């Protein structure tokens, strides 16, 4: 079994969780070859969410010290200021908060890691996962991660994610497949991302593209998946609009003043009205008597 640990280390070395995960895996399989692709600092601030840059320098000795008795097959350390990206790097991925440069950096690193593996063992089974798989914003529990890896290594078809029917947040945090097949998927994002983005103008979560593009590589339809995601987005938007309307109603709601009790007519006015009415009746009778007399 091959594991490609990739991306920024971030806070993965703050505890032994990652070490324990790999140690457990090494005891479950005959051989475990670990390949690493990371960056020259612990954490970049180029992200879809606000992050503070951690300029702690990453070295090979630092990595070896963390993993101790777990052997590392190969380490690639990249500097994002020294790499050349393909295509546009300005702005954000449409309908997301993810900087385009940040995502292209990520795929540059993943591609370099999987290409090295493919050049040496193209038919081997690879677990491709983030360094911070256990403690990022869309992390997976250790037991769930172990279960997924050990289950899929026996029954692998093409490329497998933790979900099968539709993507979830963090769906690209870990996926499994043959090295050569994985290289095809990674190359699509490394060299053709600008074109891929044209197909997903309203996806909202960039990682969903990884799930969909993998389906396309297997010649499987993604229309139903994409439509479902779009429908969910429309429902969310409709709900947001309804909530805004409710807020507006509450904002503009004014308590009506309590109406004053109706004033009753005074006896004088009441009598006056009766007299006035009586006068009209008398006047009317007089007119009829005069007409009759004529």
* Lookup: tokens for 80: 């994002």
The DSSP element (H or E) to which 129 belongs, if any, is strand 125-130
Residue 21's nearest CA partner among 142, 173, 135 is: 142
Q: What is the β-pairing status of strands 41-43 and 33-39?
A: unpaired
* Lookup: tokens for 288: 């009829």
The CA distance from 251 to 229, in Å, is 33
> Which single residue is written with the structure tokens 């996806």?
203
- Contact of 50 with 38, CB cutoff 8 Å: no
Residue 289's pLDDT is 46
Q: What is the β-pairing status of strands 125-130 and 2-6?
A: parallel
The CA distance from 175 to 152, in Å, is 10
Residue 279's pLDDT is 47
Q: Note the pLDDT tens digit of each residue in 77-106.
A: 999 999 999 999 999 999 898 999 999 999
**DSSP conformation letters of 247-292:** HHHHHH--PPPPPPPPPPPPHHHHHHHHHHHHHHHHHHHHHHHHHH
State the burial class of residue 133 (Cβ atoms within 10 Å of its Cβ: 0-12, 13-18, 19+).
buried
Residue 150's pLDDT is 83
Domains, the chain, ordered by start: 2-230 (3.90.550)
Low-confidence residues of the chain: pLDDT under 50? 255-256, 265-282, 285, 289-290, 292
The DSSP element (H or E) to which 146 belongs, if any, is helix 142-152
Three-state helix/strand/coil letters over 14-82: HCCHHHHHHHHHHHHCCCCEEEEEEECEEECCCCCCCCCCEEEECCHHHHHHHHCCCCCCEEEEECCCC
The dihedral built from the CA positions of residue 21, 23, 24 and 30, taken in this order, carries a sign that is: positive
């Amino acid at each position: 079994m091959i594991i490609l640990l990739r991306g920024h280390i971030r806070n993965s070395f703050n505890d032994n969780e990652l070490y324990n995960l790999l140690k457990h895996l090494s005891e479950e399989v005959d051989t475990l070859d670990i390949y690493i692709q990371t960056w020259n600092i612990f954490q970049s601030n180029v992200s879809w969410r606000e992050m503070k840059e951690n300029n702690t320098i990453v070295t090979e000795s630092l990595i070896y010290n963390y993993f101790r008795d777990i052997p590392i097959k190969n380490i690639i350390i990249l500097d994002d200021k020294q790499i050349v990206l393909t295509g546009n790097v300005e702005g954000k991925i449409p309908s997301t908060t993810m900087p385009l440069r940040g995502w292209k950096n990520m795929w540059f690193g993943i591609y370099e890691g999987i290409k090295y593996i493919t050049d040496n063992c193209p038919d081997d089974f690879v677990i491709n996962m983030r360094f911070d798989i256990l403690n990022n914003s869309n992390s997976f529990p250790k037991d769930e991660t172990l279960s997924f890896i050990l289950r899929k290594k026996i029954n692998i078809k093409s490329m497998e994610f933790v979900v099968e029917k539709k993507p979830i947040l963090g769906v690209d945090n870990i996926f499994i497949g043959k090295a050569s097949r994985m290289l095809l998927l990674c190359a699509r994002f490394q060299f053709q991302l600008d074109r891929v983005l044209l197909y997903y103008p309203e996806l909202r979560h960039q990682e969903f593209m990884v799930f969909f593009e993998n389906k396309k590589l297997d010649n499987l339809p993604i229309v139903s998946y994409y439509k479902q995601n779009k429908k969910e987005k429309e429902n969310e938007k409709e709900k947001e609009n309804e909530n805004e309307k409710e807020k507006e109603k509450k904002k503009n709601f004014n308590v009506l003043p309590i109406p004053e009790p109706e004033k009753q007519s005074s006896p004088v006015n009441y009598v006056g009205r009766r007299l006035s009415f009586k006068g009209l009746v008398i006047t009317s009778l007089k007119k009829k008597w005069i007409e009759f007399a004529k």
